[in-house]
């Protein structure tokens, strides 16, 4: 609170005082024409002596109160707890303000608790549904395996591929439901990048084989510290996208890694239709499919959004890069897509999980 605001607040009082002094001056001039000036000066002096200290004291108290309040508010990460941070004040405005904010804050926190409970119940329901739907999916895939001899190979591959796609979509729902509380499911450890990329490829083996995708593993001798399950989901989504947005040429997906600025970078590159440069900043936005969205009818724009959200929870960075160009080139072609997963290089943590020979 500054002096200007305080004086603006006191404008009615100051005008009323000025009017009172003018009225007194007029009365003194009418009834005591010879001594009205000294008497008016006496009236003004009494007003200054008795009113000015009260105004100064009120300004100091209010200024101290509001400055402390704004300072505490700026230090709070969660502004909703400002009601608990009020300092004791001895003027009525502050006490009334405290009561109002505490009532509003309590109402807000009560509503927030209701919404959080509803969200948690919904998340638990989704997780339960995902686990329950896995049983009929497993029975369906088992029945399909038993009936393989009765079906022609083409029909069997189509039905089996549909089952696998349903399973992957169900997993995506589960990971999306857990993305806000992923920390509860962490199992951190040292992960060799070569093993990680091979495992992710094996999990998508049928999809990759059916589209005749050629894989290339280069310079994957680094080890990172993270959660393998969540990383496999991210890599699986990137592989799905590489197949979904493949080009005319036979698809090729390359895994590579390098160290840059004390970070280990895992790079996944394909030779597909690529991402337009203007759309690169938006690929991780929820529901964004871009100009190539019509190319893949099943594109929902949710896969990369979930991956980016999980990457943030894991403390790693997921970003786009130039497609079929090298890392050192300044320009990027529109063909081909590259994603990079950046891991912090923490030697102390890795040493705890690696054998002496690996370290």
* Structural domain contains residue 167: no
Residues 96 and 194 in one domain: no
* Structural domain contains residue 84: yes
Q: Are 204 and 241 in contact (CB under 8 A)?
A: no
Residues 207 and 346 in one domain: yes
User: What is the rounded distance in angstroms from the CA atom of residue 186 to the CA atom of residue 196?
Assistant: 16
114-160 pLDDT, tens digit per residue, is: 888 887 787 777 777 777 777 777 778 778 777 877 778 777 777 87
Averaging pLDDT over each range in 38-42, 164-168, 355-359, which range is the top one? 164-168
Residues 213 and 341 in one domain: yes
pLDDT exceeds 50 at position 352: no
Res 303: pLDDT: 81
Of 121, 259, 255, which is closest to residue 197 (Cα–Cα)? 255
Q: Which two tokens stand for residue 137?
A: 């999916």
Among 90, 108, 126, residue at a domain's last position: 108
Residue 320 belongs to domain spanning: 189-353
Res 215: pLDDT: 92
Res 323: pLDDT: 55
Among 108, 142, 169, residue at a domain's last position: 108
Res 328: pLDDT: 41
Residues 87 and 208 in one domain: no
pLDDT classification of 7: cutoffs 50, 70, 90:
low
* Residue 86: CB atoms within 10 Å: 18
Between the alpha carbon of residue 222 and those of residues 48, 266, 285, 322, 345, the distances in Å are 79, 9, 30, 22, 10
Q: Are 220 and 256 in contact (CB under 8 A)?
A: yes
* Structural domain contains residue 176: no
Q: Are strands 252-260 and 214-217 parallel, antiparallel or unpaired?
A: parallel
Residues 216 and 329 in one domain: yes
Q: Are 327 and 254 in contact (CB under 8 A)?
A: no
Sequence-distant (≥ 6) Cβ neighbours of residue 215 within 8 angstroms: 201, 208, 252, 253, 254, 255
* Residue whose structure tokens are 């890392």: 327
* Structural domain contains residue 140: no
User: What is the rounded distance in angstroms from the CA atom of residue 255 to the CA atom of residue 250?
Assistant: 17
235-266 pLDDT, tens digit per residue, is: 988 998 888 888 888 889 999 999 888 888 99
Sequence-distant (≥ 6) Cβ neighbours of residue 188 within 8 angstroms: 225, 226, 227
* Structural domain contains residue 60: yes
Res 330: pLDDT: 40
Of 227, 231, 221, 224, which is closest to residue 264 (Cα–Cα)? 224
What whole-number percentage of the chain has pLDDT above 70?
Answer: 74
Residues 215 and 321 in one domain: yes
Residues 78 and 220 in one domain: no
Sequence-distant (≥ 6) Cβ neighbours of residue 352 within 8 angstroms: none
* Structural domain contains residue 149: no
DSSP state of 221: -
Q: Which two tokens stand for residue 181?
A: 């509380």
Residues 67 and 216 in one domain: no
* Structural domain contains residue 92: yes
Q: Quote the Cα angle for 285-289-294, to 5°.
A: 175
Number of domains in the chain: 2
Residues 61 and 209 in one domain: no
Which stretches within the chain are classed as H helix?
3-9, 11-31, 36-75, 92-146, 153-178, 193-203, 205-210, 228-244, 303-314, 347-353
Among 63, 81, 108, residue at a domain's last position: 108
Residues 197 and 311 in one domain: yes
pLDDT classification of 353: cutoffs 50, 70, 90:
very low
Higher pLDDT, 343 or 71: 343
Specify the CATH number for the domain of residue 252. Answer: 3.30.565.10
* Structural domain contains residue 10: yes
């Amino acid at each position: 609170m500054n002096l200007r605001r305080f004086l603006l607040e006191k404008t009615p009082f100051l005008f009323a005082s000025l009017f009172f002094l003018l009225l007194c001056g007029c009365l003194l001039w009418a009834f005591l024409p010879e001594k009205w000036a000294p008497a008016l000066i006496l009236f003004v002096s009494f007003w200054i002596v008795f009113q000015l200290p009260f105004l100064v004291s009120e300004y100091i108290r209010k200024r101290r109160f509001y400055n402390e309040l704004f300072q505490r508010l700026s230090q709070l990460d969660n502004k909703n707890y400002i009601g608990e941070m009020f300092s004791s004040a001895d003027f009525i405005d502050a006490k009334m303000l405290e009561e109002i904010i505490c009532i509003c804050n309590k109402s807000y926190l009560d509503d927030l608790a209701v919404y959080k409970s509803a969200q948690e119940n919904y998340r638990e329901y989704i997780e339960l549904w995902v686990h329950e739907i896995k049983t009929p999916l497993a029975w369906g895939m088992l029945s399909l395996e038993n009936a393989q001899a009765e079906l022609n190979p083409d029909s069997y591959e189509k039905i089996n591929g549909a089952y696998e796609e349903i399973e992957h979509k169900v997993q995506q729902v589960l990971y999306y439901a857990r993305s806000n509380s992923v920390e509860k499911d962490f199992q951190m450890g040292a992960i060799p990048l070569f093993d990680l990329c091979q495992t992710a490829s094996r999990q998508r083996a049928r999809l990759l084989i059916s589209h005749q995708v050629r894989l290339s593993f280069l310079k994957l001798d680094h080890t990172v510290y993270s959660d393998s399950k969540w990383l496999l989901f991210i890599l699986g989504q990137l592989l799905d996208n590489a197949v979904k947005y493949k080009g005319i040429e036979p698809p090729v997906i390359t895994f590579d890694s390098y160290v840059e600025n004390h970070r280990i970078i895992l790079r996944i590159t394909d030779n597909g239709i690529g991402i337009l440069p203007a759309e690169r900043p938006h690929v991780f936005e929820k529901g964004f499919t871009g100009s190539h969205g019509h190319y893949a009818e099943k594109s929902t724009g949710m896969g990369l959004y979930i991956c980016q959200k999980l990457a943030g929870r894991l403390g790693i960075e997921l970003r786009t890069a130039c497609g079929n160009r090298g890392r050192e080139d300044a320009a990027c072609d529109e063909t081909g897509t590259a994603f990079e997963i950046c891991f912090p290089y923490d030697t102390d943590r890795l040493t705890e999980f690696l054998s002496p020979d690996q370290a």
